[in-house]
Amino acid sequence: MTGSDLHSQAAGSPYAPHTDEERTAMLEAIGAESVEQLFDIPEPVQFDGEFGIDARSERETRALVRSILERNDDLTELLGRGHYGYYVPSLVDHLADRSEFLTSYTQYQPEVSQGFLQVLFEYQSLLVELTGLEIANCSMYDAATALGEAATLADRVRSVSGSRVLVPDLLREGRRSTLENYVAGTDLVVEEYPTEDGGVDYEALEEAAGEETVMIYAENPTVRGTIEERLGEIGDLATETDALFVLGSDPVALSLLQRPVDVGADVVVGDASVLGLPTSYGMGLGLFACREDYLRQVPGRLVGASEDATDRRAYTLTLQTREQHIRRERATSNICTNQAWVALRTAMHAASLGPSGMVELAKRGVRRAETLAERIDELPGVEAPIHDRRHVREFVARVDGSAQAIVADLEERGYAVHALGDHELQICVAGVSDEEIDGFVEAFSEVGR
Amino acid sequence: MSGPSTGADGDANDRARYDQARYVEGDQYEPLLSEKDLTRVEIDDEDDDSPLPDDLTRDSVELPELSEPELVRHYTRLSQMIYGIDSGPYPLGSCTMKYNPKFTEDVAALSSGAVHPDRSESSVQGTLELMYRLQDYLGRIGGMDAVTLQPPAGAAGEFVGIRIAAAYHEHNGEGHRDEVIVPESAHGTNFATAALGGYDVVSLPSNDEGRVDLEALEAALSEDTAALMLTNPNTLGLFERDIEEIAEMVHDVGGLLYYDGANLNALLGRARPGDMGFDVMHYNVHKTFATPHGGGGPGAGPVGVVDELAPFLPAPRVRAGDGDAGYELFDPDHTIGKVHGYQGNWLVLVKTFAYIARLGDEGLLDASAKAVLNANYLANRIDYEVPYEPFHHEFVASAGEQDAADVAKRMLDYGVHPPTTKWPEIVPEALMTEPTEVESKDTLDRLAAAFNAVAEDDDETLEAAPERTTARRIDQTSAARSPRLSWQALGEDES
């Protein structure tokens, strides 16, 4: 029997240390006869403690979780559409799992939290460089909630009496639905504007945007992997209509594509955990950056530099009067617990790549997606990509046969891709090795299309 | 004059000494990455290897370019300049800083669990099963009929609760209800969440005993009441003994009763929100179920509801299909939609499941027993007054004539993390203290010694604290008055 199996013999929590003697001594000090006596719970609402959950040893618990998760099929995923499985270097796991990073709380005592505050400060700086905007907070939950927060920011800062939030009709349902919930308590109304050939239909957007518009949202790249060509015009349109231009992106795409500040973006949102987290069933890191004008209206925590009593530079959470624990119902957001540890991982992954690695990763995303599209396009019954645009990371293909049937056939052969509607597939190369891509092309050539 | 070091060394040699790691380079501690290197990489389609035309790309990226050994030292040094629960006691009231079992990191790292959220349901049966079983565990623990795992934090769970209340009332033709009642001493998120949901917040004063004032509640309740948000035990650690009557009063006017799960650790196995009459609740798994706080997050804030509210839960939910159909996702009939792009903080949920499966009934019951025992023992050992009793997992002491924030800074010098300070405001100069079940008697004695040493310190010493931490007292006013929120801003400021 191993040491951790032995723990299962003790009735109680293996992480609560008292011996019987200590418990007795503590009760004596308190002047109580039993632990039960310390509880002040009226009899009618007392519970007998029987949840029907068996205790397990550490070994048994690990085996249980392993046995459950092993029921997942082991597929090579060529999946994206907002969540990506880039390779995360080992140093990220090893360093992020250092106890002090993992087991500390929010930095309410900055004097003992300098290390974490500095990493978050460096994370904010990374986003400032990538977006060109002056302010980045140290995390929202994910891209969808960051978009929701951007809309409530627009509601607060726009003086116009409008209520319309314009989003592309391609917007992922999860982001759209989350946005709807965030604006439910405001007068804002979410409306779709059309896209054309996988990108913003600028003329239609121009027609849709008017004085009543408080926010225009676009993504670059789009959920279909296409690169937007008319961002600058959207920025100008937002300026003309006094709407907030909110741009969705991520740190890899931002390393190569047009800088948000250069196209007139007021706010950048997105999933920053494309760097730092492996595929995690959708767990993310909400990127939130904005112009300095909105500093006092930013949601979430901000780390700033200051000085300590020895006049050395030191970091601290700052401008906390925006936050719920001080401002309560007048706070800029209700967020408290955030994704700080994921931001730490993202900062580490970005630092590990360095600027040359980040730019190269994005360039490879363009080259490999376009090369794979060409290879697939050669197969009978397939057109790829279907959009006459440049792509990064992923693209959409049209198939003559049933997309669902093809996806099912590919799963049988060990590969996962997206089915969109009846005759479209979306295929992503992020985190997929060259060998895996070759294997996929071979499998794809074998299935009925 | 007593030098600032007198107290921390103490009179007795047996008092623990503490010095936090501190790297110093000139007028700063560990330099920023940007001070070690900044490299500008140009992006130009004249280059052979740029795959995109210039009008689709940025001109350059300027960031640090450092080798792996340099980075590893940077982050290792930074980690040493942080105090975590693995460093020592961390009795932050209301935050439930428990020890985070190491093995949960291993199960969260299993590659079989690292799947994309758009995978077909049939190919991720393991993921769905774990979610289903965790929903079941949480339902039993809270006495709730249905659970969603989607909210990525406690405040997000509150938001789900408030949106469910709105949808429920709307569904019943009572969309006019526009008020949410929140006790004065509640967590700030309750107020902010109700406001985010578009509700007017009605603040409820406490009675002399520190509990909900039933007369004030009676006055606050009306046909405009959408919900009452309550923490039990409340932020003073007191059980709301009138909870059944409170539930009846809220339900009588057609309102819903919301349970803020921040303090659930006190009640594990001893009382369940569902049995007390709560209709909807969130669980703070990063508190009650010991998933690590990671310097501020990620957490997870699953929400449990009674049957009547299940149709309004976020989409999609997980259920077991008929026969051999396996697990499947479905959208509840009147779902409020989504509050996260996917299914929330998956890695945190795996750790939660593992923790509950490890402890089982006996472990969970033992956790609340020792959490309450520890709080009572610690309160008994400290010299500061604790005005409200009988408290459970946490107590709120008063620093009296001392400034609670200064007390906290001074406690850092004794190698312990201080309690939450100056809140709830019902106690003057509050020291809100929650030792949790994980501290031994010895550690509690040392923690008490730290409290008591600081209680003896004079104002001068308190104001000069801390001195043994990486940084000395940090100027908050300067940070807020001239915000420097990036190394870019620092450059402008210092040049």
Instruction: Name the residue among B340, B341, B362 with its Cβ closest to that of A55.
Output: B362
Q: Give the tens place of pLDDT for each residue, B463-488.
A: 999 999 999 999 999 999 999 999 99
- Residue spans of alpha helices (H) in B89-124: 103-108
The mean pLDDT value of chain B amounts to 95
Q: Give the tens place of pLDDT for each residue, A301-334.
A: 999 999 999 999 999 999 998 888 888 888 999 9
A189 vs B: CB within 8 A: no
CATH class of A76-87+354-446: alpha beta
Domain annotation for chain B: domains and CATH numbers: 21-80 (no CATH), 103-358 (3.40.640.10)
> In the structure encoding, which two tokens stand for residue A136, read together?
């980045």
Position A6 scores a pLDDT of 46
Tell me the chain B residues in contact with residue A65 when contact means C-beta distances shorter than 8 Å. 107, 110, 130, 350, 353-354, 357
Position B15 scores a pLDDT of 58
Q: Three-state SS for A239?
A: helix
- Strands (E) across B308-404 are located at 317-320, 327-330, 395-398
A162 vs B: CB within 8 A: no
Instruction: Name the residue among A50, A72, A103 with its Cβ closest to that of B123.
Output: A72
Position B68 scores a pLDDT of 98
User: Residue A198 and residue A184: Cα distance in Å, rounded?
Assistant: 29
Tell me the chain A residues in contact with residue B469 when contact means C-beta distances shorter than 8 Å. 111-112
B-contacting residues of A 385-444, CB under 8 Å? 390, 407-408, 411, 416, 418
Taking CB atoms and an 8 Å limit, are B105 and A97 in contact across chains?
Answer: yes
Q: Give the tens place of pLDDT for each residue, A350-374.
A: 999 999 999 999 999 999 999 999 9
Tell me the chain B residues in contact with residue A105 when contact means C-beta distances shorter than 8 Å. 85, 90, 92, 95, 97, 293, 295-296
User: Residue B72 and residue A63: Cα distance in Å, rounded?
Assistant: 32
Position A11 scores a pLDDT of 75
Position B323 scores a pLDDT of 84
A109 vs B: CB within 8 A: yes
Residue A54 CB coordination number (10 Å): 12
Tell me the chain B residues in contact with residue A331 when contact means C-beta distances shorter than 8 Å. 188, 191-192, 195
User: Residue B86 and residue A263: Cα distance in Å, rounded?
Assistant: 46
User: Residue B482 and residue B111: Cα distance in Å, rounded?
Assistant: 45
Structural domain boundaries in chain A = 3-69, 76-87+354-446, 90-347
A163 vs B: CB within 8 A: no
Position B279 scores a pLDDT of 98
Instruction: Name the residue among B20, B153, B191 with its Cβ closest to that of A337.
Output: B153
Q: Give the tens place of pLDDT for each residue, A129-139.
A: 999 999 999 99
Q: Give the tens place of pLDDT for each residue, A144-183.
A: 999 999 999 999 998 767 899 999 999 999 999 999 999 9
Q: Give the tens place of pLDDT for each residue, B382-422.
A: 999 999 999 999 999 999 999 999 999 999 999 999 999 99
Q: Three-state SS for A420?
A: strand
User: Residue B210 and residue A40: Cα distance in Å, rounded?
Assistant: 14
> In the structure encoding, which two tokens stand for residue B357, read together?
């499966």
User: What distance separates the 2 farthest-apart alpha carbons in chain A?
Assistant: 83
User: Residue A66 and residue B113: Cα distance in Å, rounded?
Assistant: 9
Taking CB atoms and an 8 Å limit, are A51 and B441 in contact across chains?
Answer: no
A212 vs B: CB within 8 A: no
- Residue A342: closest C-alpha in chain B: B298
- Strand-strand pairing, A76-77 and A415-416: parallel
Which parts of chain A sit beneath pLDDT 70? 1-10, 160
Q: How many residues does chain A have?
A: 449
The mean pLDDT value of chain A amounts to 95
CB pairs < 8 Å spanning A and B: 654
Q: Give the tens place of pLDDT for each residue, A187-200.
A: 999 999 999 999 99
Instruction: Name the residue among B63, B299, B340 with its Cβ closest to that of A354.
Output: B63
Position B50 scores a pLDDT of 81
Taking CB atoms and an 8 Å limit, are B61 and A358 in contact across chains?
Answer: yes
Tell me the chain A residues in contact with residue B72 when contact means C-beta distances shorter than 8 Å. 91, 95
| Of residues A188, A216, A180, the one with CA closest to residue A201 | A216
Residues A212 and A404: beta-carbon distance below 8 Å: no
Residue A136 CB coordination number (10 Å): 29
A204 vs B: CB within 8 A: no
Position A321 scores a pLDDT of 87
Q: Which amino acid is at A216?
A: I
Residue B466, preceding peptide bond in cis (omega within 30° of 0) = yes
A69 vs B: CB within 8 A: yes
- Residue B481: closest C-alpha in chain A: A319
For CA atoms A73, A76, A82, A83, give the dihedral sign.
positive
CA count, 13 A, side-chain hemisphere, A344:
32
- Residue B191: closest C-alpha in chain A: A329
> In the structure encoding, which two tokens stand for residue A303, read together?
């780390």
Which residues lie closer than 8 Å to A371 by C-beta, 6 or more apart?
none
A294 vs B: CB within 8 A: no
Q: Give the tens place of pLDDT for each residue, B124-166.
A: 999 999 999 999 999 999 999 999 999 999 999 999 999 999 9
A335 vs B: CB within 8 A: yes
Same topology between domain A76-87+354-446 and domain A90-347: no
Per-residue pLDDT of chain B (495 residues; tens, 9 = 90+): 333 344 444 444 455 678 999 999 999 999 999 999 999 999 998 876 789 999 999 999 999 999 999 999 999 999 999 999 999 999 999 999 999 999 999 999 999 999 999 999 999 999 999 999 999 999 999 999 999 999 999 999 999 999 999 999 999 999 999 999 999 989 999 999 999 999 999 999 999 999 999 999 999 999 999 999 999 999 999 999 999 999 999 999 999 999 999 999 999 999 999 999 999 999 999 999 999 999 999 999 999 999 999 999 999 999 999 888 899 999 999 999 999 999 999 999 999 999 999 999 999 999 999 999 999 999 999 999 999 999 999 999 999 999 999 999 999 999 999 999 999 999 999 999 999 999 999 999 999 999 999 999 999 999 999 999 999 999 999 999 999 999 999 965 554
Tell me the chain B residues in contact with residue A174 when contact means C-beta distances shorter than 8 Å. 338, 340-342
Q: For domain A90-347, is the CATH number 3.40.640.10?
A: yes
Whole-model pTM over 0.90: yes
Position B8 scores a pLDDT of 44
